[in-house]
Amino acid sequence: MSIRVQGASVRHGQVQALSALDLQIGQGERVAIIGPSGAGKSSLLHLMATAVPPSGGRLELLGEQPWVLSARARQRLRARVGLVHQAPPLPPRQRVVTAVLAGRLGQWGTLRGLLNLIHPGDIPGARAALAELGMADKLFAQCGQLSGGQLQRVGIARALYQRPEVLLTDEPVSAMDPVLADHSLALLNRHAQAHGVTLVASLHAVELALAHFPRIVGIRAGQVAFDCPAAAVSEAMLDALYANEQLAPPVASTASPQVQIPRC
Amino acid sequence: MLSTDQRDPAAIPRVLLTLLCLALLWPGLRLSELDPGVLLQAENRQQMAGFVSAFWPPAYDAGFLDLLLTATVQTLAVATAGMSLALLLAVPASLLASRALSLRAASSAGRLGPWSRASRLPVRGLLIFLRSVPEIVWALLFVRAVGLGPTAGVLAIAITYSGMLGKVYAEIFESVDQRPAHALLQAGSSRLSAFLYGTLPEAASEVVSYTVYRWECAVRASVVMGFVGAGGLGQQIDLSMRMFAGAEVASMLLTFLLLVVLADLLSRFLRGRLA
């Protein structure tokens, strides 16, 4: 079992992002997480990436409990897990080659990291990771000059270069055009299948999730709404998942007899 | 509800705050015994005019220029050596004092636990102690310990400036975007690597700019310390003033102006390169 989440809760201040959530993901599985905005998809991914500790419940990752380990052992465990952020946090002045090579900082010692900063050691490796995403020409560009979709591809390239055993991606294609999004997801899936990597992706586009991932997990209000193979996902399940009581039905243009008082 | 919002709710506090500042300024002026009228009294004006008129024309005979060059190089050397020694202490201290490298902060949205907070206190305390004693006091101390000469100046600058540099570096590291470094820590990198790849690219231009500015301050400070016998331009200015050689003082002040201009240009150039 690659990831085991047992009754885990995550709380951000007053907001209960996840409440007693259970989820098990096996070695080499490819899972898409879908759900409405604010349902807790990102919180779940950050929890699984050990970016936030659970406020309750248990997390088991690659057979170990990260929050029981010592800080040093936890860093070693983290080096085996990759997280692609929705908007990859990269320093604007950092060059793309450095940003990609930074993926392996967890496996390199500090000294190798320092040397790599002075003289990038594995340029072919970084170029290969970027070339798969059509970004080889941007190898020496600065991150600040890239668009949102290009930054997301740099983030994916960094995670691929890291060669993690568990690859978690948080809305990895949200800023890409449909063709690129399709290509990038296909690439992630190919990579996962070829290397036996456990792949988890949160996605807004349901059709992309159904097309690329064999297993779909629906998250709603911090809990698992459904968890089934892609073929078993029905229209009714999706309607129930994305139902939004907060949104008023479209109002007819004549129906506003009250005086509007601006309050600002 | 509308009637109350038509007046700016911040107006009264602002007026009161302005009045308070003015009210505090008056006792401050009294306590500092500032009285610009003294400058305009005839006797004082003559004194100052006599002092300044001796400045023109600046001295430029070969023997003096030779002396000036030696003193300038010595001042630069004192400032640079002092800064280098200060950096040796300031860089590790700033890394220890800064919250930017806390593993715990990386997994709790930047908040520190009580333990991480407490463990940074001794380093902060050391930096405060190092910079709270003025460099001139250290210089006086070291002149007694190692004798007259530039060594005392170098040590005094190294000690005071390590305190200042360490504090400001730590604050610069905390003020830049922490997410890149946190993302690296969450991917298993060591803290120093996360700093080098996540924090330093953003902080570099601020750090360089502040370092060059401090180097400029060190040049000035080494001149002041020359007055207490720590060598360099300061000692020459002191000697020339005692001998009422205003022309020599003028030449040295011009040299000084040139050094500050050079430091400014260097800082601008480096910032441009790193921006």
Do the domain assignments include residue A147?
yes
**Which has the minimum average pLDDT: A175-184, A196-205, B144-153, B223-232?**
B223-232
Q: In the predicted model, is pLDDT for residue A133 greater than 70?
A: yes
Do the domain assignments include residue A96?
yes
Q: From CA A85, how far away is CA B172, in angstroms rounded? A: 25
Give me B47's structure tokens: 């004194």
Q: What is the pLDDT of residue A194?
A: 94
| Angle CA A122–A124–A129, to nearest 5 | 100
Strand partners, A9: A56
pLDDT category at B26 given cuts 50, 70, 90 is: confident
Q: What is the pLDDT of residue B112?
A: 66
Q: How far off is chain A from B87, nearest CA to CA, in Å?
A: 19
Average pLDDT over all residues of chain B: 85
Q: Do B194 and A71 touch (CB under 8 A)?
A: no
Q: In the predicted model, is pLDDT for residue B131 greater than 90?
A: no
Model pLDDT for residues B54-97, shown as the tens digit of each residue: 777 887 888 888 888 988 898 889 899 999 999 999 999 999 98
Model pLDDT for residues A202-225, shown as the tens digit of each residue: 998 899 999 999 999 999 988 999
**Which has the minimum average pLDDT: A83-97, B6-20, B44-58?**
B44-58
Say if residues A135 and A153 touch (Cβ distance below 8 Å): yes
Q: What is the pLDDT of residue A249?
A: 63
Do the domain assignments include residue A213?
yes
Do the domain assignments include residue A22?
no
Q: What is the pLDDT of residue A255?
A: 47
Q: Which chain A residue has the Cα nearest residue B178? A: A89
Residues of chain B in Cβ contact (below 8 Å) with chain A: 1-2, 103, 106-109, 177, 179-180, 182-190, 192-194, 196-198, 201-202, 204, 274-275
Q: What is the mean pLDDT of residues A21-25?
A: 93
Domain boundaries, position A171: 31-46+80-242
Q: What is the pLDDT of residue B117?
A: 77
Strands in A166-170's sheet, in edge-to-edge order, are A81-84, A166-170, A198-202, A30-34, A215-220, A223-229
Do the domain assignments include residue A61?
no
Say if residues A52 and A216 touch (Cβ distance below 8 Å): no
Domain formed by B59-274, architecture = Orthogonal Bundle (1.10)
Locate the domains of chain B by residue range: 4-52, 59-274
Entry pTM: 0.81
pLDDT category at B109 given cuts 50, 70, 90 is: low
Average pLDDT over all residues of chain A: 89
Q: From CA B255, how far away is CA B68, in angstroms rounded? A: 9
Q: Residues of B with CB below 8 A from A83's CB? A: 183, 186-187
Q: What is the pLDDT of residue A85?
A: 93
Do the domain assignments include residue A247?
no
Q: Is B248 exposed, middle or buried (0-12, 13-18, 19+ CB in 10 A)?
A: buried
Q: Is the ipTM of this complex over 0.95?
A: no
pLDDT category at B134 given cuts 50, 70, 90 is: confident
pLDDT category at B275 given cuts 50, 70, 90 is: low
Q: Which residues of B81-94 are buried (b: 16+ CB within 10 A; e: fewer)?
A: bbbebbbebbeebb
Q: Which chain B residue has the Cα nearest residue A86? A: B183
Q: What is the pLDDT of residue A258?
A: 55
Looking at chain A, the whole-number percentage of residues with pLDDT higher than 70 is 94
Q: What is the pLDDT of residue A250?
A: 62
Considering its fold, how many domains does chain A have in total? 1
Q: What is the mean pLDDT of residues B187-208?
A: 90
Do the domain assignments include residue A225?
yes
Residue of higher predicted confidence among A125 and B1: A125
Do the domain assignments include residue A248?
no
Model pLDDT for residues B219-242, shown as the tens digit of each residue: 888 888 888 877 788 888 888 888
Give me B95's structure tokens: 């890394």
* Domain CATH code at residue A198: 3.40.50.300
The sign of the CA dihedral B72, B75, B81, B87 is negative
